[in-house]
Amino acid sequence: MAAARKPVSIKEGTPYNFLPHRHSTQGQGAMPLSASTHLKPSLTPDPRWPTEILRENKARNTRKRPRGKPAGVRNRLRARAHRASLPSILLANVQFLDNKLDDLQAKIKFQRDIWDYNLLCFTESWMNPAVPSHAIQSAEFFSVHRMGRTADSGKSRGGGVCVMVNNSWCNNANVVTLTRSCSPNLELLTLKFHPFYLPQASNTDTALCELHEALTQFQAQHRDAAFSMVGDFNSANLKCTVPNLYQHVTFPTKGNRTLGHCYAPYKDSYKALAHPPFGKLDHAAIFLIPKYKQRLKWEALVQREVARWTDQSSAALQDALDDTDWDSTDDVSKFMEAVIGFIGKLVDNTIPRATIKKFPNQKPWVEKTIHEALNSGTAAYNGGIISGNMDEYKSAAYRVRRVVREAKRRYGRKLETQFQQSGSRSLWQGLQMITDYRSPSSGLMSADEILAKGLNTVFARIEATSSSANANSANANSANGAIGTADSTCAERTIE
Which residues are CB-contacts of 337 (< 8 A; sequence separation ≥ 6)? Answer: 472, 475, 476, 479
H or E segment to which residue 385 belongs: helix 368-387
Question: SS3 for 159-221, per residue?
Answer: CCEEEEEECCCCCHHHEEEEEEEECCCCEEEEEEECCCCCCCCCCHHHHHHHHHHHHHHHHHH
Which residues are CB-contacts of 473 (< 8 A; sequence separation ≥ 6)? Answer: none
Supply the pLDDT for residue 244.
Answer: 85
Cα 471 to Cα 342, 345, 455, 464, 477: the distances in Å are 18, 19, 20, 11, 10
Which residues are CB-contacts of 136 (< 8 A; sequence separation ≥ 6)? Answer: 97, 98, 101, 127, 144, 146, 162
Residue 382 φ then ψ, to 5°: -65, -40
| CA nearest to 373, candidates 396, 356, 391 | 396
- The string of pLDDT tens digits covering residues 105-161 is 888 888 888 888 899 999 988 887 778 887 888 778 899 998 888 888 888 778 889
Cα 343 to Cα 347, 355, 473: the distances in Å are 6, 22, 18
Supply the pLDDT for residue 449.
Answer: 64
- The string of pLDDT tens digits covering residues 53-107 is 555 555 555 555 556 566 678 787 878 888 887 888 999 999 888 888 888 888 8
| CA nearest to 363, candidates 297, 407, 396 | 407
Supply the pLDDT for residue 20.
Answer: 44
Do 122 and 92 form a contact (C-beta atoms < 8 A)? yes
Low-confidence stretches of the chain (pLDDT < 50) are 1-40, 442-444, 446, 462-469, 471-485, 487, 489-496
Domains of the chain (ranges; CATH) run: 83-193 (3.60.10.10), 204-297 (no CATH), 302-321+328-358 (no CATH), 364-435 (no CATH)
Q: What is the pTM of this model?
A: 0.42
- Return d(Cα 88, Cα 343) in angstroms, integer: 98
Q: Where are the alpha helices (DSSP H) in 20-120?
A: 73-79, 101-110, 112-116
Cross-strand bridge partners of residue 358: 302
How far, in whole angstroms, is CA 484 from its chain's centroid? 52
Supply the pLDDT for residue 79.
Answer: 80
Supply the pLDDT for residue 286.
Answer: 92
Supply the pLDDT for residue 305.
Answer: 85
Supply the pLDDT for residue 310.
Answer: 83
Do 79 and 59 form a contact (C-beta atoms < 8 A)? no
